[in-house]
Amino acid sequence: MTDDSRPAPPAATAAAVIPAAGRGVRLGPGAPKALRPLGGIPLLVHAVRAMAASRAVALVVVVAPPEGTAEVRALLDTHALPERTDFLVVPGGDTRQESVRLGLDALPPHVDTVLVHDAARPLVPVDTVDAVVAAVHAGAPAVVPALPLADTVKEVEPRDPARPDAPEPVVATPARARLRAVQTPQGFDRATLVHAHATVPVDGEGATDCAGMVERTGRPVVLVPGHEEAFKVTRPLDLVLAEAVLARRRATDGY
Ligand code: CTP
Ligand code: MG
The string of pLDDT tens digits covering residues 121-171 is 999 999 999 999 999 999 999 999 999 999 999 999 987 889 888 899 999
Q: Is residue 5 part of a domain?
A: no
Mean pLDDT of the chain: 94
Number of domains in the chain: 1
At residue 6 the predicted structure's pLDDT band, cuts being 50, 70 and 90, is low
Instruction: Give the pLDDT score at 12.
Output: 63
Closest of 221, 213, 50 to residue 126, by C-alpha: 50
Lowest mean pLDDT among 14-28, 92-106, 154-168: 154-168
**pLDDT above 90 coverage of the chain, percent:** 84
**Ligand 2 ion: Cβ-proximal residues, 5 Å cutoff:** 22
Whether 36 maps to a domain, the answer reads yes
- Tell me which long-range contacts 151-156 makes (C-beta under 8 A, separation of at least 24): 151/176, 152/176, 153/179
Distance (Å, rounded) from C-alpha 52 to C-alpha 57? Answer: 6
Q: Assess if residue 169 is contained within a domain.
A: no
pLDDT above 70 covers a percentage of the chain that reads 95
For residue 120, the CA-to-ligand 1 centroid distance in Å is: 8
Q: For a substitution probing ligand 1, which of 18, 35, 96, 118 has the most ligand atoms within 8 Å of its CB?
A: 96
Q: Is the CB of 205 under 6 A from ligand 1?
A: no
User: CA 126, CA 124: separation in Å to the nearest integer?
Assistant: 7
Residue 152 lies in a domain: no
Whole-number pLDDT of residue 7: 55
Q: pLDDT tens-digit profile of 167-189? A: 999 999 999 999 999 999 999 99
More confident residue, 79 or 54: 54
Angle, in degrees to the nearest 10, between helices 96-105 and 190-199: 130
The predicted model scores a pTM of 0.94
Task: Look up the CATH number of the domain holding residue 218.
Answer: 3.90.550.10
- 82 band by pLDDT with thresholds 50, 70 and 90: confident
DSSP string, 13-43: -EEEEEE-----GGG-SSS-GGGSEETTEEH
Cα separation, 147 vs 182, in Å, equals 7
Mean pLDDT, range 235-242, rounded to an integer: 98
What atom in ligand 1 is closest to the CA of residue 26? 28
Cα 22 to middle of ligand 2, angstroms: 6
User: What is the structure's pLDDT at 8?
Assistant: 53
Distance 34 CA to ligand 1 centre (A): 9
Residue 33 lies in a domain: yes
pLDDT reported for residue 4: 55
Mind listing the pLDDT tens digit for each residue in 46-75? Answer: 999 999 999 999 999 999 999 999 999 999
Strand, helix or coil at 58? strand
Nearest ligand for residue 23 CA: 1
On whether residue 228 sits in a domain, the answer given is: yes
Nearest to 182 by CA among 220, 231, 142: 231
In a domain, 4, yes or no: no
Answer whether residue 139 is part of any domain: yes
Q: Which of 15-19, 82-86, 94-98, 143-147 has the lowest mean pLDDT?
A: 82-86
In contact, 71 and 60? CB cutoff 8 Å: no
Task: Determine the structural domain holding residue 55 and report its residue range.
Answer: 14-146+181-253
Q: Could you tell me if the CB of 20 is within 6 A of ligand 1? A: yes
